[in-house]
A = this chain, B = another copy of it.
Amino acid sequence: MKRTTIKDVAEAAGVGVATVSRVLSGGSASDETRERVLAVAAHLDYRPSALGRNLRQQRTGGIGLLLPDLTDPLYGGLAEGVLACARSAGEPVLVGSTGGDPEQESELIGMLLEQSVDKVVAVPSGDADTWGPALRTGMTVVFAGERPDEPTEEPVDDLLLLDGLRSRGGDLARAEGGIPTVLADDRSGVRTAVRYLRGLGHRRIAYLGGPGHSRRVSAFREALGPLVDDDLVVFAGGTRDAAYAAASGLFQSRPDLTAVLAGGNQLGEAAVLAARELDLRIPRDLSLVMYDDVPWAELCSPPLTVIAQPARDLGYRAAELVLRAGTRRPRSVLLPTELIVRGSCGPRR
A residues near B (Cβ < 8 Å) are 1, 3, 45, 47-52, 54-55, 58, 60, 62, 65, 69-73, 76-77, 79-80, 83-84, 87, 90, 92-97, 107-108, 110-116, 133, 137-138, 240, 269, 272-273, 294-296, 298-301
Residues of B contacting A301 with CB < 8 Å? 300-301
Residues of B contacting A73 with CB < 8 Å? 71, 73, 76
Flag if A299 contacts B298 (CB, 8 Å).
Answer: no
- Complex CA distance for A65 and B96, rounded to whole angstroms: 12
Flag if B96 contacts A83 (CB, 8 Å).
Answer: yes
Residues of B contacting A294 with CB < 8 Å? 296
Flag if A76 contacts B80 (CB, 8 Å).
Answer: no
Flag if A80 contacts B97 (CB, 8 Å).
Answer: yes
- Complex CA distance for A92 and B269, rounded to whole angstroms: 32
Known pairs A87-B107, A273-B299; list 6 more (Cβ under 8 Å). Answer: A51-B60, A51-B116, A70-B76, A87-B96, A87-B108, A92-B112
Number of copies of this chain that the complex holds: 2
Distance of A300 from chain B, by nearest CB (Å):
5
Can you list 26 residue pairs at the A/B interface with Cβ under 8 Å? A1-B138, A3-B137, A47-B114, A48-B114, A49-B114, A49-B116, A50-B114, A62-B94, A70-B70, A70-B77, A70-B79, A71-B76, A71-B80, A73-B76, A80-B97, A83-B95, A83-B96, A92-B94, A93-B96, A94-B94, A94-B95, A269-B296, A273-B298, A296-B299, A296-B300, A300-B301
- Complex CA distance for A232 and B16, rounded to whole angstroms: 63
Residues of B contacting A299 with CB < 8 Å? 269, 272-273, 296, 299-300
Q: Which single member of B55, B90, B96, B97 contacts A51 (CB below 8 Å)?
A: B55
Residue of B nearest to A295 (CB): B269
Residue of B nearest to A94 (CB): B92
- Complex CA distance for A90 and B54, rounded to whole angstroms: 21
Residues of B contacting A49 with CB < 8 Å? 55, 114, 116
Which 5 pairs between the two chains have the least Cβ-Cβ distance? A301-B301, A296-B296, A1-B138, A70-B76, A71-B76
Q: Which single member of B50, B55, B72, B269 contacts A52 (CB below 8 Å)?
A: B55
Flag if B76 contacts A92 (CB, 8 Å).
Answer: no
- Complex CA distance for A300 and B302, rounded to whole angstroms: 9
Residue of B nearest to A86 (CB): B96
Distance of A224 from chain B, by nearest CB (Å):
27
Residues of B contacting A137 with CB < 8 Å? 1, 3
Flag if B48 contacts A51 (CB, 8 Å).
Answer: no
Residues of B contacting A108 with CB < 8 Å? 87
Residues of B contacting A50 with CB < 8 Å? 114-116
Residues of B contacting A138 with CB < 8 Å? 1
Flag if A94 contacts B97 (CB, 8 Å).
Answer: no
Which of A52, A60, A115 gathers the greatest number of chain B CB atoms within 10 Å?
A115
- Complex CA distance for A244 and B321, rounded to whole angstroms: 36
Which of A3, A70, A83, A295 gathers the greatest number of chain B CB atoms within 10 Å?
A70
